[in-house]
């Protein structure tokens, strides 16, 4: 890690974010001798640092711990010349090139800017959920469902994600209890029909998870549920809790500067990582509301690096 005060002002590539997308972009641009600067941000290593075992990242037949995988990705990028800065970018000006990037009181200039600032899963905001995240509480059914064979699970939410993840989890779980704060789902009709027809799905309406029970050693043992109409608190046994109440893309800095969809995900051109501003590229979950996997993020990180390299060549920089 390098002290930001030691950096020169102008850089060929500045990368915002240090999840699989940002670190893969760093690895590729470093190997192309572009000396990228990675701003790691508040959640250094990204969402994988909030998980334990990762079994679906290719190349690890015995699985790998999320934080270990991210440390290895960072070490690999730094080995080839990427510079890691443990700071948050606080503002950017993308209206003129070189782009202006402000972190703390240091202003840098970037010929190309790769945004890999990710998306953060929305959380319920209760202490026990935070404490047991990665120990039975998860925000990713695709990643963690496999660990819950024949177990009873809770899924929180009533949108497409919650219902789709609930149905997916019935492949492993003995029973999936979908806890929703209202008495009707927001999810699309087709998903609702599928969920209602699934014998392993159970619906708990008008309810919120008040507390997740368990500890780090034994994992989750159940939840305290609050009926929002009557106020009644009940306990329900379960070995896993999947929070699926949506994601927030980390794009606040780019409002009014870059094209984004209604929710705030950056829009990239089809088959590319180019945004509407030439020289600014977006990779990973910040531009992907659909797949949201570490391997797809890494893939688009590689694309962003190649796109940036080509841009620099074409602009003689």
20 φψ region: left (φ > 0), alpha (ψ -120 to 50), beta (else):
alpha
181 binds ligand NAP (CB under 6 A): yes
Contact 276, 291 (CB under 8 A): no
Task: Using CB under 6 A, pick the residue from 63, 67, 81, 246 that binds ligand NAP.
Answer: 246
By rule CB under 6 A, what string of x and - marks binding of each residue 250-279 to ligand NAP?
A: ------------------------------
Other CB atoms within 10 A of residue 210 CB: 16
161 binds ligand NAP (CB under 6 A): yes
Q: Which residues are catalytic?
A: 140, 143-144
Contact 170, 197 (CB under 8 A): no
Task: Using CB under 6 A, pick the residue from 64, 124, 228, 295 that binds ligand NAP.
Answer: 124
Smallest separation (angstroms) from ligand NAP to the CB of 185: 7
**Residue placing its CB nearer to ligand NAP in the complex, 222 or 246:** 246
Smallest separation (angstroms) from ligand NAP to the CB of 230: 17
Identify any residues that bridge with 177 across adjacent strands, giving them in sequence order. Answer: 154, 202
Other CB atoms within 10 A of residue 71 CB: 15
Residues 275-294 close enough to bind ligand NAP by CB under 6 A: 289
The residue number with the shortest CB distance to ligand NAP is 159
126 binds ligand NAP (CB under 6 A): no
Q: Cα(238)–Cα(235) distance, rounded to whole angstroms?
A: 10
228 binds ligand NAP (CB under 6 A): no
Task: Using CB under 6 A, pick the residue from 40, 111, 164, 274 that binds ligand NAP.
Answer: 164
Q: Cα(89)–Cα(172) distance, rounded to whole angstroms?
A: 41
Q: Cis check for the bond before 98: say yes or no (omega within 30 of 0).
A: yes
Task: Using CB under 6 A, pick the residue from 34, 85, 140, 245 that binds ligand NAP.
Answer: 245
Residue range at the interface with ligand NAP (CB under 6 A); choices 11-19, 64-72, 126-134, 161-169: 161-169
Smallest separation (angstroms) from ligand NAP to the CB of 186: 4
The phi, psi pair for 28, rounded to 5°, reads -70, -45
**Residue placing its CB nearer to ligand NAP in the complex, 24 or 47:** 47
Residue range at the interface with ligand NAP (CB under 6 A); choices 69-77, 93-101, 146-154, 181-189: 181-189
Distance of CA 222 to the CA centre of its chain: 26
Instruction: State both tokens at 74.
Output: 């960072």
158 binds ligand NAP (CB under 6 A): yes
For residue 145, give the 3-state DSSP assignment: helix
Q: Cα(185)–Cα(248) distance, rounded to whole angstroms?
A: 20
């Amino acid at each position: 890690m390098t002290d930001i005060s030691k950096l020169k002002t102008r850089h060929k590539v500045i990368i915002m974010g240090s999840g699989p997308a940002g670190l893969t972009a760093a690895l590729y641009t470093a190997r192309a001798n572009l000396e990228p600067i990675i701003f790691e941000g508040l959640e250094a290593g990204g969402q994988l640092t909030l998980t334990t075992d990762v079994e679906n990242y290719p190349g690890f037949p015995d699985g790998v711990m999320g934080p270990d995988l991210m440390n290895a990705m960072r070490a690999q990028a730094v080995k080839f010349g990427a510079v890691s800065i443990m700071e948050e970018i606080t503002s950017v000006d993308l209206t003129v090139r070189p782009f202006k990037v402000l972190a703390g009181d240091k202003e840098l200039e970037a010929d190309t800017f790769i945004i890999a600032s990710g998306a953060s899963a929305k959380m319920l905001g209760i202490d026990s959920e935070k404490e047991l995240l990665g120990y039975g509480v998860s925000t990713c059914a695709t990643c963690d469902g496999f660990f819950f064979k024949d177990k009873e699970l809770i899924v929180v939410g009533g949108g497409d994600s919650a219902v789709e993840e609930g149905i997916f989890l019935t492949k492993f779980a003995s029973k999936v209890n979908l806890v929703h704060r209202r008495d009707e789902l927001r999810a699309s009709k087709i998903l609702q029909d599928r969920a209602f027809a699934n014998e392993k799905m159970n619906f708990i309406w008008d309810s919120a998870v008040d507390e997740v029970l368990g500890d780090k050693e034994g994992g989750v043992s159940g939840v305290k549920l609050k009926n929002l109409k009557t106020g009644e608190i009940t306990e329900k046994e379960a070995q896993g809790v999947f929070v699926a109440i949506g994601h927030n893309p980390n794009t606040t800095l780019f409002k009014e500067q870059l094209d984004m969809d209604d929710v705030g995900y950056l829009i990239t051109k089809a088959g590319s990582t180019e945004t509407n501003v030439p020289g600014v590229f977006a990779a990973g979950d910040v531009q992907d509301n659909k797949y949201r996997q570490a391997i797809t993020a890494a893939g688009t990180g590689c694309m962003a690096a190649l796109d940036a390299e080509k841009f620099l060549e074409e602009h003689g920089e």
